A and B are shown apart, each in its own frame.
Chain A
Amino acid sequence: MMPDLGKYAVEVLSAYAVSLLLLAVLVLWTLRRGRTARATLDAAEKEAGRHG
């Protein structure tokens, strides 16, 4: 149940919304970049293997 935030509801909710959004973007971007790096390394290792 939503707590009573009184006259500061907009401030409190916007602070939580912007912070959680930024944290979510950071985590998702980090995971996505990690997956891309793994794929890049796999491709580079295969390429290096072909060249002996």
Chain B
Amino acid sequence: MSIWSYANPVKFLTLSARVQPVLWVLSMACVATGLIWGFFGTPQDYRQGATVKIIYLHVPAALMAINAWFMMLVASLIWLIRRHHVSALAAKAAAPVGVVMTVIALLTGAIWGQPMWGTWWAWDPRLTSFLILFLFYLGYIALWEAIEDPDTAADLTSVLCLVGSVFAVLSRYAVQFWNQGLHQGTSVPVATGGRSVDDVFFYPLVICMIGFGLLFVALVFYRTGTEIRLRRAAALRARAGRAA
């Protein structure tokens, strides 16, 4: 069966109903295990003290804030190229999740930065590009709400998503691009395999990252189903209105 068959809303909802229980259970189990292990079962860092425990929230949230935008980018491209409504609705459904992840990353970063850097905020390349990404998220959601025709809204938000992807890339690679600022490079570089985090912090961190990723997928599946139902209800009401 082709992956494009899930562009059919009924098939998508059937798949969604099947995988969601597993996703919810796994995501909650991973998030709970990672956070409890990280908070209660790891020592203080020799330089950062107990603030190192913020890593179990900050890194997974920042990871998902950026990856959520990339998921929206792929879904937007599918909409623009193949005009599958489910993909446009999936992008719409992911945006609020991405916003919350971005806010968590920004807030925990500020709380962590104050005692370590001596400031809540700095106009550092990575922090600034992340803040701009947050504003793009707000603009993306506002654009969906502002346009009445759903296809036009999907078109315009898809274009906005393409533009915002620049800042999603910058959020991830700003440290390498400019090699300046307060924020350190990535602690767990997937591409190179090397890492600057000791095993005692690394394992609960990876579990948290997996948990946040699964939670994102579960939320997007659920929220896409919600958007499909609302779209169907609006279409039925419009049809009934024309018939009356």
Contacts and interface: CB of A to CB of B under 8 A. Distances in A.
Interface of A: 1, 3-9, 11-12, 14-16, 18-19, 22-23, 25-27, 30-31, 33-34, 37-38, 40-41, 43-45, 47-48, 51-52
Given A11-B51, A19-B104, A26 B230 contact: no
B29 interface: no
A33 B243 CA distance: 29
- SS of A interface (majority): helix
A3 B51 CA distance: 12
B18 interface: no
B57 A48 contact: no
Contacts of A7: 49
13 contacts: A5-B53, A8-B50, A16-B35, A16-B39, A16-B57, A19-B104, A23-B215, A30-B222, A31-B222, A41-B233, A44-B234, A45-B236, A51-B243
Nearest to B24: A27
Interface of B: 31, 35, 39-40, 44, 49-51, 53-54, 57-58, 61, 96-97, 100, 103-104, 107-108, 111-112, 114-115, 215, 219, 222-223, 225-227, 229-230, 232-234, 236-237, 239-240, 243-244
B108 A6 contact: no
A6 B230 contact: no
A31 B223 CA distance: 8
A46 B7 CA distance: 26
B115 A23 contact: no
Given A19-B61, A30-B219, A6 B104 contact: no
Given A34-B225, A37-B226, A15 B236 contact: no
B237 A41 contact: no
Contact of A48 (B35, B50, B97, B240): B240
A44 B31 CA distance: 38
Nearest to B93: A30
A26 B219 contact: yes
A44 B236 contact: yes
B240 A47 contact: yes
Given A6-B49, A37-B226, A40-B233, A11 B100 contact: no
B99 to A, nearest CB: 9
A12 B232 contact: no
A33 B51 contact: no
Given A19-B104, A40-B230, A12 B53 contact: yes
Given A19-B107, A41-B232, A47-B237, A11 B114 contact: yes
B89 to A, nearest CB: 12
Contacts of B111: 11, 14-15, 18
A47 B49 contact: no
A3 B226 contact: no
